[in-house]
């Protein structure tokens, strides 16, 4: 059994091989004390990729030992589909939302060796309030997707340390600090980029907010992703965050990054891998980003759930912009009008914004991918999510991927119009070869629609578009690498080449595991094969071909 020790200060990652067992029962029926841990599993990891419980639904129980005592904080950076955390056999907390970062503070008891059990269940919840329904077109894995960390709580607890860039010319940023516990300190001391603690922030009951100019500031851009660091010291405790100075705005029908028009050469990326599920190692994430950067891609849509902090750190550092969105997929009236669904959507969307607000790579917030935005009944939830985000952050535009295109009745509620559309794939008849005219007339129809006075001020993006391709099929027909490459290249030429569009997010980076037989069409072998690389990241023709077009269009 792994034994981890929580240090006196700092954080310990509980990553490694834990004791494990799989049981077919649901979480409610579990008696953890009688469970026989007869196997091993990796944390992070998806248990339903392991032999023994491969592709099975039920509960995976993970156990490790932790040496610590007193008040502690445990952060579970994301699991799925739901979990319960036990400390020395007693239930501490439950995790309701997949991919969501859950923080819990608790009294670990006397200093010594304790037992931590995390029970993770991957059975489907078909109720209207469910966040991960069985018809979603990405596999509902069971496992501890992301790292689990622990730290000992000091007398002063950090609740919030936010840095929002306000002026790219002067390097002005807005710093918000909130601490709890011993809140007697009247000020916090600030140090930029490991310099001296020269500036102070007034605190009242542990809360303070003020504007500062970052000395010698440099802008964050995808080409030169400069990061700054802020350390705040309160009493003898200090807290550090990195941030970037850049602005992102939507105006006059365009997107602007640091005041310059921005064209999005984007791609949708599931943080998934056939061998690791959603527990994608950082090494692979970094290679994915490097591959995309080399082809000139500048933005990822993190479909369709909040991204891990580790991934966003990588994007900050390599200079890859991100559209981050909360978890949802194709939700219809039953969910869209369900009070529990709304409560969860608002809570999880707010959590995402708080988690990611300091990351300069995140340039847009999204939610509710392909919901029923063609009906008035969806307006309440969409408006509530937009309002919840704007309350926390007004420095980034808001959008959602609409599949209802010209029939959408909610586009006025967001800042950017984003269309998910599949011309030459789902929409038309059964043309065997790529029909360029068909694609272009469809893109033109959407652009004309978005040029009407009520939408003309909002930037227009294609947020999904694509075609499946079997690696090795060079027939030139549908499902071939050529067909996919021709379609995607034409989309980029059109959306990056001037005109109404601010660019496109192709669907998608890599082939992903989904289901063979559910409501989704055409998923041979249980994979969505619209990737420009396959699941193992082997490039298809479109990978390099789209890269050439991006470089031509963006003059790289
Ligand atoms: C939708 C959806 C994606 C994926 C895609 C497809 O637009 O948003 O998640 O399922 O279609 O491949 O059909």
Q: Rounded mean pLDDT of 43-57?
A: 96
Q: Rounded mean pLDDT of 534-539?
A: 98
Whether residue 522 is predicted with pLDDT greater than 80 in this model: the reply is: no
Architecture of the domain spanning 156-245: Sandwich (2.60)
Dump pLDDT digits (tens) for 90-106. 999 999 999 999 999 99
Give me the pLDDT at residue 28, please: 79
421 lines ligand 1 (CB under 6 A): no
Give me the pLDDT at residue 430, please: 64
- 3-state SS class at 89: coil
Dump pLDDT digits (tens) for 492-501. 999 999 899 9
Give me the pLDDT at residue 556, please: 60
Could you tell me what percent of the chain has a pLDDT over 70? 98
pLDDT band (50, 70, 90) for residue 524:
confident
Interatomic CA distance for residues 123 and 25, integer angstroms: 10
Whether residue 463 is predicted with pLDDT greater than 70 in this model: the reply is: yes
Chain position carrying tokens 């501490």: 92
530 lines ligand 1 (CB under 6 A): yes
Interatomic CA distance for residues 85 and 97, integer angstroms: 14
Give me the pLDDT at residue 555, please: 83
Give the DSSP letter string of 363-380.
EEEE--TT--TTSGGGHH
Q: Rounded mean pLDDT of 370-390?
A: 98
**Residue 509 near residue 267, CB atoms below 8 Å:** yes
**Residue 350 near residue 392, CB atoms below 8 Å:** yes
Interatomic CA distance for residues 434 and 267, integer angstroms: 21
- 3-state SS class at 484: helix
Give the DSSP letter of residue 273: B
The domain limits of the chain are: 3-152, 156-245, 249-554
Give me the pLDDT at residue 429, please: 65
pLDDT band (50, 70, 90) for residue 343:
very high
pTM of the predicted structure, to 2 decimals: 0.97
Start-to-end C-alpha separation, the chain: 52
Where is average pLDDT lowest: 122-136, 430-444, 512-526?
Answer: 512-526
Q: If you average pLDDT over every residue of the chain, what do you get?
A: 96
Give me the pLDDT at residue 236, please: 92
173 Cα–ligand 1 center, Å: 38
One fold for 3-152 and 249-554: no
Q: Which of 528, 529, 531, 532 to mutate to test the pocket of ligand 1 (most atoms within 8 A of CB)?
A: 528
In this structure, what are the phi and psi dihedrals at residue 6, rounded to the nearest 5 degrees?
Answer: -80, 125
Q: Which CATH number fits domain 3-152: 2.60.120.260, 3.90.100.10, 3.90.700.10, 3.10.580.20?
A: 2.60.120.260
137 lines ligand 1 (CB under 6 A): yes
Architecture of the domain spanning 249-554: Alpha-Beta Barrel (3.20)
270 lines ligand 1 (CB under 6 A): no
Q: How far is CA 488 from the centre of its chain?
A: 24
310 lines ligand 1 (CB under 6 A): no
Where is average pLDDT lowest: 30-44, 74-88, 284-298, 363-377?
Answer: 30-44
Interatomic CA distance for residues 127 and 131, integer angstroms: 9
Tokens of 304: 């369709």
Whether residue 427 is predicted with pLDDT greater than 70 in this model: the reply is: no
Which atom of ligand 1 lies nearest, measured to the CA of 425?
A: 13
pLDDT band (50, 70, 90) for residue 366:
very high
Better-predicted residue by pLDDT, 521 or 251: 251
């Amino acid at each position: 059994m792994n034994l981890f020790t929580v240090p006196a200060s700092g954080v310990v990652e509980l990553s490694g091989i834990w004791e494990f067992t799989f049981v077919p029962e649901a979480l409610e029926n579990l008696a953890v004390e009688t469970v026989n841990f007869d196997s091993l599993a990796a944390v992070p990891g998806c248990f339903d990729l392991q032999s023994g419980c491969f592709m099975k639904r039920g509960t995976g129980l993970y156990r490790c030992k932790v040496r610590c005592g007193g008040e502690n904080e445990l952060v579970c950076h994301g699991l799925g589909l739901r979990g319960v955390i036990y400390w020395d056999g007693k239930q501490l907390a439950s995790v309701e939302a997949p991919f969501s970062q859950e923080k819990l503070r608790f009294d670990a008891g006397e200093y010594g060796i304790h037992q931590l059990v995390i029970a993770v269940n991957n059975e489907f919840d078909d109720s209207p309030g469910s966040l991960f329904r069985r018809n979603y077109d990405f596999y509902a894995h069971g496992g501890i997707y992301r790292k689990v960390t622990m730290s000992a709580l000091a007398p002063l607890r950090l609740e919030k340390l936010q840095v929002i860039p306000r002026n790219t010319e002067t390097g002005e940023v807005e710093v918000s600090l909130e601490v709890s516990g011993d809140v007697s300190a009247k000020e916090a001391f600030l140090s930029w980029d490991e310099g001296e603690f020269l500036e102070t922030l007034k605190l009242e009951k542990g809360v303070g907010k003020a504007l500062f100019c970052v000395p010698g500031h440099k802008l964050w851009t995808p080409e030169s992703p400069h990061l700054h660091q802020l350390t705040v010291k309160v009493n003898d405790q200090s807290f550090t965050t990195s941030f970037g100075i850049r602005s992102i705005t939507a105006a006059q029908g365009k997107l602007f990054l640091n005041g310059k028009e921005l064209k999005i050469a984007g791609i949708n990326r599931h943080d998934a891998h056939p061998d690791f599920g959603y527990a994608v190692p950082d090494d692979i994430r970094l290679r994915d980003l490097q591959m995309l950067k080399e082809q000139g891609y500048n933005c990822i849509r993190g479909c369709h759930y909040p991204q891990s902090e580790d991934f966003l750190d990588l994007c900050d550092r390599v200079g890859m912009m991100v559209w981050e969105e909360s978890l949802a997929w194709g939700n219809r009236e039953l969910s869209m009008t369900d009070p529990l669904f709304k409560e969860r959507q608002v809570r999880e969307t707010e959590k995402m914004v708080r988690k990611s607000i300091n990351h300069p790579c995140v340039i847009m917030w999204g939610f509710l991918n392909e919901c029923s935005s063609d009906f008035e009944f969806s307006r309440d939830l969409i408006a509530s999510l937009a309002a919840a985000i704007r309350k926390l952050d007004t420095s980034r535009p808001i959008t959602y991927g609409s599949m209802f295109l010209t029939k959408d009745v909610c586009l006025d509620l967001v800042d950017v119009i984003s269309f998910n559309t599949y011309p030459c794939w789902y929409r038309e008849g059964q043309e065997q070869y790529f029909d360029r005219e068909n694609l272009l007339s469809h893109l033109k129809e959407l652009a004309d629609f978005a040029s009407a006075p009520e939408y003309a001020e909002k930037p227009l993006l294609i947020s999904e578009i694509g075609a499946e391709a079997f690696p090795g099929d060079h027939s030139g027909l549908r499902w071939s690498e050529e067909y996919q490459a021709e379609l995607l290249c034409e989309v980029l030429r059109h959306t990056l080449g001037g005109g109404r569009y601010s660019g496109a997010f192709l669907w998608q980076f890599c082939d992903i595991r989904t289901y063979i037989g559910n409501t989704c069409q055409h998923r041979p072998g249980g994979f969505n094969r619209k990737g420009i690389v396959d699941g193992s990241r082997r490039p298809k023709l479109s990978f390099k071909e789209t890269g050439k077009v991006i470089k031509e269009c963006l003059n790289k």
